[in-house]
Structure 1
């Protein structure tokens, strides 16, 4: 079950005084992604009463924008019973559910490999996770940070508990 994340969003009232707009559990979830906030390209509208997290429709942020999210990766051992083909199929379905069917150019190293045209700032909050790249791997411990710069990668949890991560994805495509 996905860990619930309390999210507090602030705003200024009509007199310019700061206040809380929202305080509660973030509810916009796309598979393992709990969307916390999205910004569009250009100046940010700090007056809108819209919950911008609901603007997220999948893995990628809006053109010229950002997405701030919490995500959770279950232990890889939960899929030990699956064949390679079954794991590949499951990964394709998972990425398709996140509107990311086209971001898996080379999954030969791991079925979860994917590439996005974004700069990502990712921090492991708890658990264990391994960053798998085409040529090498790096094990992360809580509070380790990865700056992901548009490279093919996968997140693999070889531990025994869910890995909890926070990420900010910044569109770098110029699309």
Structure 2
């Protein structure tokens, strides 16, 4: 277990004034992810102060058809999704490498990524592998997209 990034969320207090409603840092497993925030619809409904990032992390965010998800993924060295873990999604994902080094695998090649690098994943077959001696972490925003090719495998 390790601590994930600090999460600060604003909203309105009982008097209708802007306020900090969440300021936390949660433990997560390696490899794995945690939701920072999820919206079931687009445009988002900001009327509730309910914690939309609470609860267990599961791959249902890949199948949300009307909203968005923002998650943080953690990888131990050599962890990742490769070979049978190659997968496709019906999403467009905006990914920022926050720390460590990763290999991003496509069917025709591999690119090495480091902290600060950005990937736009358009749902085609891909996989990940952490490389080096330190854990890697990514921040990912997932939005629904029309299927490409044969569509999602997860």
* Structure with the larger helix share: 1
Change over 3 Å in CA distance of 1:166–1:7 after alignment to 2: same
SS in 2 for 1:54: coil
Taking the aligned partners of 1:28 and 1:17, their CA distance within structure 2 comes to 32
Shift of 1:142: 0.8
Q: TM-score, normalised by structure 1?
A: 0.72
Q: For 1:118-157, what per-residue CA distance to the aligned partner results, in whole angstroms no more than 9, with x for missing partners? A: 0000011111101000011110111000000011111111
> Which structure 2 residues correspond to residues 96-175 of structure 1 after superposition, within 5 A?
110-173=83-146
Shift of 1:55: 6.4
Shift of 1:56: 6.7
SS in 1 for 2:47: coil
Taking the aligned partners of 1:30 and 1:64, their CA distance within structure 2 comes to 29
Would you say 1:64 and 2:96 are equivalent positions?
Answer: no
Change over 3 Å in CA distance of 1:126–1:30 after alignment to 2: closer
Aligned to 1:23: 23
SS in 2 for 1:53: coil
Shift of 1:40: 1.2
Q: TM-score, normalised by structure 2?
A: 0.81
Taking the aligned partners of 1:112 and 1:11, their CA distance within structure 2 comes to 38
Query: Is the contact made by 1:37 and 1:52 (CA closer than 8 Å) also made in structure 2?
Result: yes
Residues 139-148 or 156-165, more deviating = 156-165
Change over 3 Å in CA distance of 1:116–1:56 after alignment to 2: farther
> Which structure 2 residues correspond to residues 78-93 of structure 1 after superposition, within 5 A?
none
Aligned to 1:84: none
Query: Is the contact made by 2:31 and 2:74 (CA closer than 8 Å) also made in structure 1?
Result: no
> Unmatched 5+ residue regions in structure 2?
148-154
Please tell me whether Structure 1 or Structure 2 has the larger radius of gyration of its CA atoms. 1
Q: How many residues align?
A: 145
SS in 2 for 1:111: helix
Aligned to 2:43: 43
